[in-house]
Structure 1
């Protein structure tokens, strides 16, 4: 049981992405930030793969864009709302690797140590679940070592101030829970300083995390970079 992790991504130029950040800072900034943040998240997933055996994937939103994400193998998110798509990808990871972790691309300050903690918790025969809350009420990571009924995912309202709590309530009887530290994810320009500061505080950032932090520093005062 080595576990799998899927990074959920939309493809710049093929789907609208980070629309609230784009409204604050412009589409060029939002696209540039997103591409670099996704690369930073992937670099940490590859680090966990090298250290712990975690198998990393892109979970790509667009059916015709899997070739746009060459650095990792890809999984198709498929059709439906976010809950249905997460259920589908998570079930594939559990079937292939024993347990599955789902990540977004907008909390690039995560670390391989946090992924290692998640792996240690989920590498058990008893049903176990894991959640990393985001500061806005969502979550930056979900994990589970068994596939879950789709209805448990689709009954949750996503992108709300209590999404993490709603998801946990929906799955409260599905296994033992572990909660990882809260991280900030980026939706608005007001989220950027906390993420930049967290990147700068990392003791051993990956080159991609350093590159993102440097890019954010260069564009800090540009209203529409």
Structure 2
């Protein structure tokens, strides 16, 4: 049974991105790093696609960006409007309309692996209601997936970008299916995260070319952040 993976992205020329990185490495570097991180995540999703019925998409925040060619190589989905929870619910429904299961990820954890995505997709291929989550060290989550309908209220009553987001989210989804928990990863949000994400990438057994390029960028930016500290 197929599984759609939506990578949630914003377009730097149209929306502010990685604003918490600006003080450490500058706005232009932060925006370039965001795009490189998104490409690294996409490369892993495409790698996972080679080994199963997985189809990755860009889930784009700005409607106008769908027509500009800002995001290439993957099919495009519109996030829609509203809060983050409302937009995730919208994309989840779109994917579930096309596929048996849906996985939502961001561009903030480029050290993810194809094996983790495949593990989640395999879990969600079951017939019974199932959910999957990969927690982030900051209290949020870098992946959520499901193979069952979910109420909009469960998405929108969660407070996102807090230390308790993942706990609240799992509580909101309680009773919707059996859970699979993946490894916890560090999001790339601030200059302090750079060495940790770099170490995670360096520990990969077989990083994709995009992940390898990102490692080079992070090494340079770690020096810039250290010099400005």
Q: Does structure 1 residue 84 correspond to structure 2 residue 83?
A: no
Q: How does 1:33-72 map to 2 (within 5 A)?
A: 33-66=33-66, 67-72=69-74
Q: How does 1:16-31 map to 2 (within 5 A)?
A: 16-31=16-31
Is the Cα contact below 8 Å between 2:25 and 2:221 reproduced in 1? Answer: no
User: CA shift at 1:155, angstroms?
Assistant: 0.3
Other structure's SS at 2:180 match: strand
Is the Cα contact below 8 Å between 1:57 and 1:72 reproduced in 2? Answer: yes
Q: Give the whole-Å Cα distance in 2 for the aligned partners of 1:97 and 1:204.
A: 29
Between the two proteins, the alignment pairs up a number of residues equal to: 224
Unaligned runs of 5+ in 1: none
Q: Does structure 1 residue 199 correspond to structure 2 residue 214?
A: no
Out of 150, 153, 160, the position equivalent to 1:151 is 153
Is the Cα contact below 8 Å between 1:11 and 1:68 reproduced in 2? Answer: yes
User: CA shift at 1:24, angstroms?
Assistant: 2.6
Is the Cα contact below 8 Å between 1:101 and 1:144 reproduced in 2? Answer: yes
Q: Give the whole-Å Cα distance in 2 for the aligned partners of 1:216 and 1:131.
A: 26
Out of 150, 172, 177, the position equivalent to 1:175 is 177
User: CA shift at 1:218, angstroms?
Assistant: 2.3
Q: Does structure 1 residue 124 correspond to structure 2 residue 133?
A: no
User: CA shift at 1:26, angstroms?
Assistant: 1.2
Q: Does structure 1 residue 190 correspond to structure 2 residue 192?
A: yes
RMSD (Å), alpha carbons: 0.9
User: CA shift at 1:219, angstroms?
Assistant: 2.6
User: CA shift at 1:76, angstroms?
Assistant: 0.0
Out of 71, 90, 95, the position equivalent to 1:93 is 95
Q: Deviations over 1:129-150 (max 9, x none)?
A: 0110000000000000012111
Q: Deviations over 1:96-135 (max 9, x none)?
A: 0110000000100000000011011100111100110000
Length-normalised TM-score, structure 2: 0.96
Query: What is residue 7 of structure 1 aligned with on the other side?
Result: 7
Is the Cα contact below 8 Å between 1:91 and 1:146 reproduced in 2? Answer: no
Other structure's SS at 2:222 match: coil
Is the Cα contact below 8 Å between 2:148 and 2:176 reproduced in 1? Answer: no
Length-normalised TM-score, structure 1: 0.97
Other structure's SS at 1:131 match: strand
Other structure's SS at 1:7 match: strand
Q: Give the whole-Å Cα distance in 2 for the aligned partners of 1:196 and 1:78.
A: 32
